[in-house]
Amino acid sequence: MSTITVENIAKRFGETQAVKNVSFEVHSGEIFGLLGPNGSGKTTSIRIILDIYQADSGKVSILGGPMTNEKLNHIGYLPEERGLYQDVQLERCLSYFASLKGLSEDQIKERLPRYLEKFDLADHAKKKAKELSKGMQQKGQLIAALIHDPEIIIIDEPFAALDPVNTQLVKKLLIEQRNAGKTIVMSTHQMNQVEQLCDRLVLIDHGRVLLQGKLTEIRERFRTNAMIIDALDPLPEQLDGVARIEKQNGSYCLTPQEGVSAQDLLSALVAQGIKMNTFEVAAPTLDEIFIQVVKEGSDRDE
């Protein structure tokens, strides 16, 4: 069931068309990747979803209808431009943000210590934000986005400024939230995190959707028929059934001739006495897909 439905939204700032006919759906119990280069319209789309900006045209449906003040309390938001009150104690700052999300004082007293403990910030609760490291502040901001137990979590670059230990902590937390049936929209440039976490994604550039779908389907769609082999001995310059041989980081990328399947190629290599440790389909990384799609989009524009 979709908890966020975005239909043909558009937004213009002066001469700049920030978002143009963007549509996508996000379902409960999934982590949805909102991807795109800098200035592509991701943040504007998020702000329209949150009703911070009004779309010039198009429609957004949240939890089955238009946004209301009540629904805002069911959304946890970690913006890219995030911060804490630098001269205010962390505990007091987070209590304020939690109260704005509709939590009562008793609920805050019960939940905040738990979250501070979970994020290893309990000893720093009385410190002012300016006395905390960047990573600690980032964790504090994550608490602000999660403390009211929102149904929808929208997070922009959640791993920026986190060390590997805390990155793992946040990943685990996001997976827990997904398993609990929450809807998560994650915007990031870290494609490895998208590959590990996202179920579906949309790629936006110049304010329009270039690509969307399930991660597995997208990778399948961009899969080539090339093979990667880790050969024990150097390969000869030509092989039967192989159109092109490229060396890649100690491995070989083989492009089969027209009509030659992976099975046929493997048989041909064995028959030619090639010894190898691995033989695998050369599936493109999300990084490569991202660059390819964005480049194609730019070429089309030109």
Partner 1 sequence: MRDLLKVFKFEFLTVFRRRSFILSLILVPLIPMLLLSVLNWINRDKSVTFQEAFMQEAGNPLPIGIVDQANVIKEYPEWLTYGKLIPAQSEDEARAKTASGAWQGFYVIEPDYLETGSMRFVKPQISMITELVQPDMLKELLTYNLIGADKERYLRYTNPIDFHYEYINPETADTRDQADDATFWVPYAVTMFFYMIILISSTMMMNVVTKDKENKTIEVLLSSVKPLDLFIGKIMAYGSLSLLQMVLWFGTLALVVKTGKTSLPFLESLAIPKSVFIASVPFFICGFLLYGSLMAGMGAIAPNLREGNQSTFVLTLPLVFTIISIAQLVENPFSSFTTFLTLFPFTSPVVMLTRLSVGPVPAWQLILSIVLLVGMVVFVIRGVTNLFSSQYLLSGQKIKVGLFLKTVFIGHRRA
Residues at the interface with partner 1 (CB under 8 A)? 13-14, 47, 50, 52-53, 69, 72-73, 75, 77, 79, 81-88, 96-97, 99-101, 141, 144
CB nearer to partner 1: pick between 72 and 235: 72
| Min CB(140)–partner 1 separation in Å | 11
| Min CB(208)–partner 1 separation in Å | 21
CB nearer to partner 1: pick between 119 and 290: 119
| Min CB(72)–partner 1 separation in Å | 6
CB nearer to partner 1: pick between 49 and 226: 49
DSSP label at 1? -
Q: Decide if 171 contacts 164 (C-beta within 8 A).
A: no
Nearest one of 64, 70, 16 to 40, comparing CA atoms: 16
DSSP label at 176? H
Dist CA 35 CA 32 (whole Å): 9
Which residues of 28-74 form beta strands (DSSP E)? 30-35, 57-62
- The 3 state secondary structure assigned to 189-203 is CCHHHHHHHCCEEEE
| Min CB(191)–partner 1 separation in Å | 25
CB nearer to partner 1: pick between 162 and 260: 162
| Min CB(19)–partner 1 separation in Å | 14
CB nearer to partner 1: pick between 96 and 279: 96
Structure tokens that stand for 158 in this block: 């959640």
